[in-house]
Amino acid sequence: MLHHLSVSAANPRHVAQVFAELMQGQSFEFPVVSGAYIAVAGDAFGTAIEVLPHKAVWVPGDLEAEGRIVETRPQFAAVHAALSVPVSRETVEEIGKREGWLVRYCDRGPFQLMELWLENTLMVELLTQEMIPNYLEFLQPHVYEAFLKDAMASDNAISRQEQAQKEAELVAL
């Protein structure tokens, strides 16, 4: 169970407020790192998202992790999160449009979600209440394993077709 996540943003206070709005929770200052904020869902899982200043990173300190400011930071990151939200797809779209952030509905095949790109640099996948059941079903190990086997078999079939086509082109020459 994921309970909290740290991300960075150019405007941590505002991004934490948007997270709080999406989760129907609250945002607060996060005094562990200067200029950081936290969005708290207020749910049974203790779900929270810490939003640090854009150039802040966690480093191992002498006794525990410490937040430090670094010179440069990449524009995009490998980190992203899927977050179940109590708001509707329309609300997510309205928030994205209001903020000027990329927002879109995505059909991943076995499940659907909304992509919201916070400050147009950090992807957060949002699952509305209607989207959650398909996502939860898909990520059961036996379901995912079957999906993976089918996908690999399909990829192998495509690779064999591509190889046969290349061989046919060579023969035609």
Domain that holds residue 160: 140-173
Same domain, 42 and 107: yes
CA distances from 125 to 33, 59, 94, 153 (A): 25, 26, 15, 28
> The domain spanning residue 43 has which CATH number?
3.10.180.10
pTM for the model stands at: 0.79
The whole-angstrom separation of Cα 128 and Cα 55 is 31
Same domain, 77 and 148: no
The tally of domains found in the chain comes to 2
For residue 152, give the 3-state DSSP assignment. Answer: helix
User: Given this model, what pLDDT does residue 160 score?
Assistant: 65
151: pLDDT confidence band, cut at 50, 70 and 90?
A: confident
Q: Are 145 and 103 in contact (CB under 8 A)?
A: no
Stretch among 18-22, 65-69, 97-101, 160-164 having the lowest mean pLDDT: 160-164
Give the DSSP H or E segment for 13.
helix 12-23
pLDDT in tens, 45-76: 999 999 999 888 888 889 888 888 888 877 77
Structure tokens at 62: 């002498």
Same domain, 50 and 81: yes
Same domain, 85 and 149: no
Same domain, 114 and 29: yes
Same domain, 30 and 12: yes
Same domain, 127 and 147: no
